[in-house]
Amino acid sequence: MYQKILLAADGSDHSIRAASHAVKIAQIDQGTIDVVYVVDSKTSKENVLHGVDKYEVKKVRQERIQPVIDVLEAAGLEYETHVVHGEPGPAIVEFANRNEYDILVVGSRGLNQLQTMILGSVSHKLAKRVECPVLIVK
């Protein structure tokens, strides 16, 4: 049923829990998981302006999502990671719709501390605009 799974991850506790649910879904029908991590434009520009070494940037990004990767590797599932640039909501929507996933799994909130009282704005945008079913994990 859900063999092509997209997991939106930012390294937050919610995305780690979402990874656990993505694993359970993938195990049902031997599905594969694609992990998408979005680098927002502001962060990307700051890295360039401050002359941050591209290898250091890649290392920091990998460290941020490593707990999510650890969950997938512990389960022994096939996965692939994708780094996209842009505003998280629209970038994930475009990526998900372009690649025709069976389901998108996302945490209810990410690293943005301003959204602790309501459903995160990114997960809300995804639920409204992604063309496949969306599982929001709290």
pLDDT digit string (tens) for 13-63?
999 999 999 999 999 999 999 999 998 866 655 655 555 677 777 787 889
- Token output for 35: 């992990």
Domains of the chain: 4-137 (3.40.50.620)
Radius of gyration of the chain (CA): 14
- Per-residue pLDDT tens over the stretch 90-130: 999 999 999 999 999 999 876 554 444 444 589 999 999 99
**Could you report how far apart the first and last alpha carbons of the chain are, in Å?**
23
Task: Say how far apart CA 54 and CA 52 lie, in whole Å.
Answer: 6
Q: How many CB atoms are located within 10 Å of the residue 114 CB?
A: 9
Q: pTM value?
A: 0.87
